[in-house]
Structure 1
């Protein structure tokens, strides 16, 4: 099916979703959207995006539906409720959940889809607001290879590093590995910059030195400068990161794996959220160190 004939539905036009929709439009796709708050999608209407006033309505008119919502409970509602995607999607359609969610929930949704002749992929992303804006997201996919190959051009409109990790749930397990790495790394970035400040150094110059060496990371290069500038606007919310760490901890417990670094990071972020920073970007962890 050509891009012009393919009907893509998109649920969730928040910080990430809006940019992802723009990149789909830029690549020539026709997109209809639903969001709980219509005002969040307003800027997309001028670009030719169609508004649909329910998830069920969006499911009925779409060949492919992409979801980018907040929490596993939202994913469950969007997919499995009576007015959700699975009961209302057309047989043969493809549903792609790009929310970071529970691997076990992803497996349950895929089974429900299969029973109704609907293909489901879990495809969480990494790269934050910058990756969403630039169409350079890392996309980690779980599901059947044939379905992945069918919709890979859609993924390519939104990301660059796109890998099928395995069957249903594998994308979410991979994203948990990503979040565990980010959680530990963010502590290191915050402590390093705070240390440079306390030592009387110019933290920007320190960043220039260490970002190109063994300490280099995406967080150091992209979020370190924001910390130094005092810009804590969210590319990814603290409250959503805490949600991800809870999922990872639950999953690790199921596997009998100890994750003390992740437990430490979660405790620090919960302290940060308790101080009113739950809607700040994850790099606001730096504020704890500079109190």
Structure 2
């Protein structure tokens, strides 16, 4: 609706150029990534980065909270540095406050993507240890909170037990 869609596409250059005006009516960017299938693989690369980032941000947020730091201020403190990102700015305060609405998406979706990523990696012999670890963290989340748990709830996995 806002026209901010970013499209990564695969196909012959002439075909991509033929559809460019139509795609740009819906979004701000169309990038040809290679032959047919390259767009899907690019989307999977995005999902590796997003999934691993969520897990790492949850870990950093938990460390801050457990050390007595106001984790809601991490984005402010890290703004402009190498760790800064849009997800850091948006999601770390939500994790620290326990706010999971509006949902980023259910854990079942990120697991579907991570399973597709593992399949692609197996077919071309690419080791993906970080994506594999992120998948296991999200499998733990699914086991603990159900398939509709929001991905940001990965932060809850490291909550200290109360006696």
Compute the TM-score of the two structures, normalised by the length of structure 1. Answer: 0.51
2:43 corresponding residue in structure 1: 175
Q: Select the structure of larger CA radius of gyration.
A: 1
2:121 corresponding residue in structure 1: 252
User: Deviation of residue 206 (structure 1)?
Assistant: 2.0
User: Deviation of residue 213 (structure 1)?
Assistant: 0.9
Contact map agreement 1:183 1:262 (CA 8 A) in 2: yes
1:281 corresponding residue in structure 2: 150
1:270 corresponding residue in structure 2: 139
Q: Cα–Cα, structure 1 residues 284 and 149, in superposed 2: closer, same or farther, change >3 Å?
A: same
Which one of 170, 173, 185 corresponds to residue 53 of structure 2?
185
User: Deviation of residue 162 (structure 1)?
Assistant: 2.3
Compute the TM-score of the two structures, normalised by the length of structure 2. Answer: 0.87
2:99 corresponding residue in structure 1: 231
Q: More helix by proportion, 1 or 2?
A: 2
Q: More strand by proportion, 1 or 2?
A: 1
1:216 corresponding residue in structure 2: 84
User: Deviation of residue 208 (structure 1)?
Assistant: 0.7
Which one of 6, 10, 13 corresponds to residue 145 of structure 1?
13
RMSD of equivalent CA atoms: 1.8
User: Deviation of residue 289 (structure 1)?
Assistant: 1.9
Larger relative contact order (CA 8 Å, sep ≥ 6): 2
Q: How many residues align?
A: 159
Contact map agreement 1:277 1:284 (CA 8 A) in 2: no
Q: Cα–Cα, structure 1 residues 279 and 154, in superposed 2: closer, same or farther, change >3 Å?
A: farther
Gaps of 5+ in 1: 1-22, 24-133
Query: Are positions 1:261 and 2:130 aligned together?
Result: yes
Partners of 2:48 and 2:85 lie apart in 1 by 14
User: Deviation of residue 195 (structure 1)?
Assistant: 0.9
Partners of 1:281 and 1:153 lie apart in 2 by 35
Gaps of 5+ in 2: none
